[in-house]
Amino acid sequence: MKIKNKNLGELEELCQDIRERIIDVVSRKGGHFSSTLGAVELTVAMHKVFDVQKDPFIFDVSHQCYPHKLLTNRWEEFETIRQFDGLSGFTKPKESSSDYFVAGHSSTSISLAVGAAKAKKLKKENSIPVVMIGDGSMTAGMVYEALNELGDIKLPVVIILNDNEMSIAKPIGSISKYLSKILAGRFYQKLRERIDKSIIQKLPQGATYLAKKIEESMKLITPGIIFEEMGVDYIGPIDGHNLEEVIETLEIAKSMNKPVIVHAKTVKGKGYEIAEGQNEKWHGVGPFDPSTGIFKKKASAKAATAVFADALIELATAHENVVGVTAAMPSGTGIDKLMDKFPDRFWDVAIAEQHAVTSMAAMAKEGFKPFITIYSTFLQRGYDQIIHDVCIMGLPVVFAIDRAGIVGNDGETHQGAFDISYLRFLPNMILFAPRDNETLNEAIKFSYTLEKPCAIRYPRGAFSELEFKSSPFELGKAEVLKHSDSNKVFIGYGAGVSRACETEKLHEEDIAIVDLRFVKPLDKKLLVELSKKYNDWYIFSDSQKQGGVASAILELLNEQEIRNVKVTSFEYEDSFIQHGDTKKVEENMQLLPCQLVKKVK
């Protein structure tokens, strides 16, 4: 969509059209909502001032990129947002050349911009990387690592800080607001440049010192001092919904030809009054009635996250040394309930997975029992800390891994495929998984008794209901759920047990079913016994095949020199899993029970 020649009135009308399109589609299909509505004017201004085909547009996390998609020839296709074989809910270069980079995790954007700026300089290309980053992403250390270098090398990068919760800094009264407007003006920027280049350099040493102190004193009563001290110029705060002001400010930032942060104050959900403000439930939504804001909920079983939260509340009530942490996902992981009930023992440390892991390692050393509640995909961000700060000392930290397996519409950046593979080979780590709600309760109780690091994984949404009764966990002990006279055995791990059960019901043979329970340590004794009775083993687990459950079993069979067993893995193949409805994704991967039973036959 060409907007370079549109006047202000036409651009404001376009902003309204974009909001209406987002509200219409997301209310029917679901998707990210409040954050993307709040970024409409900022995105339109980016496209007005910069050239998306020349200047890299880098969206942090990129859940706010819907206006960008609508402005880059995807207006009609927007109907398919987050649907199987449709548009991704995040930026994706395979989808459009206007999407510079794949994004889905936070706080990577400024590092990408630094790399892009270096590359553009080496290639002698006249372009400026443009970043849009939310205030929440500014809580991660990677942002400051990038800013530290950017302030040193001084390459031109424009960073739009989309501040919709006032979590960075609150302007100090009317003086700060007035000074911020001055700092954003062309007169101040030109005057400052002239003073730097012409006047201060010619002043006597004492006068130079005084002039610099006056300028620094002005910065002290503005929110941008942290950025200025790192060598990055700061403009703002500005009204991120005042299109004229945003465009004018971005023009100034562009002309400065050096790193600059434009601090824009915005409102989440802007343009849809029901969602405006700091209401977390409007961040990512399912279908809803746009006239009332009432969600179209389907009746469903209790989610594993809720079961976990209730079990942990019970454990924390019984044991005062139980503590916990999450990294910016209190409601998503269910720990918000514990933060309300035990505010001195459970914390949200913001988008700081590395800090979350290491801080809990110290608490474990001090005699507490920490539970780190985190999505599988986000635990990847704290991997070195798991090794260096938890496993080497064998500290009894519990990793409660939510969203294990396929998570659906968020796609490849969020699928919980790799946690077994990347945790299994760590010394001192214990890995186990429940198969249903009852065994999840048992798993939480058991984790409290362990004196080593452990990880429990459970899926997004609800477990399937199984007919087998729960029993307490024993370290390294699997459970035979069903014997048979067949030479086949289905071995399930975690939610894979229910897939094994469903597949077995579709088969005319009576097939044995085993709940592996532990992938580390394996139940060596039971597996050796199974090899004496069953020759065909089929492994069911919602995880990556490489380094996964079948791999662990094959390693054991090799060690025991067992040659009569054929192992078939129904785990994920060696590729990233696309977005879409979970059932459609599983069907595409040939993982539905009706498809698996044909493979077994």
190 is catalytic: no
Query: For residue 247, how many other CB atoms are within 10 A of its CB?
Result: 18
Spacing of C-alpha 493 from chain mean position: 25
DSSP structure class, residue 572 = B
Sheet holding 566-569, edge to edge: 479-482, 512-515, 488-492, 536-540, 566-569
Tell me phi and psi for residue 292, to 5 degrees: -120, -20
Tell me phi and psi for residue 434, to 5 degrees: -80, 160
C-alpha 339/C-alpha 316 separation (Å) is 11
The CB-based long-range contact list for 172-181 (8 Å cut-off, 24+ gap) reads: 172/221, 175/221, 176/221, 176/222, 176/223, 177/237, 179/218, 179/221, 179/222, 180/222, 180/223, 180/236, 180/237, 180/238
C-alpha 508/C-alpha 566 separation (Å) is 20
> Which secondary structure element, helix H or strand E, spans residue 312, and what is its range?
helix 304-318
Residues 6+ apart with CB under 8 A from 314: none
Catalytic residue among 120, 268, 424, 457: 268
381 is catalytic: yes
Nearest to 332 by CA among 293, 287, 283: 283
Query: For residue 161, how many other CB atoms are within 10 A of its CB?
Result: 28
What angle (nearest 5°) sits at the alpha carbon of residue 107, between those of residues 372 and 542?
A: 50
Query: For residue 328, how many other CB atoms are within 10 A of its CB?
Result: 20
Catalytic residue among 19, 48, 82, 353: 353
353 is catalytic: yes
Residues 6+ apart with CB under 8 A from 433: 404, 443, 456, 457, 458, 493, 494, 495, 517, 519
Q: Are 228 and 259 in contact (CB under 8 A)?
A: no
Positions of E strands within 458-535? 479-482, 488-492, 512-515, 518-520
Catalytic residue among 92, 345, 381, 457: 381
Beta strand pairing call for 398-402 and 454-457? parallel
DSSP structure class, residue 405 = B
Bridge partners (DSSP) of residue 374 are: 401
DSSP structure class, residue 260 = E
Q: Report, as residue numbers or ranges, the catalytic residues.
A: 268, 353, 381
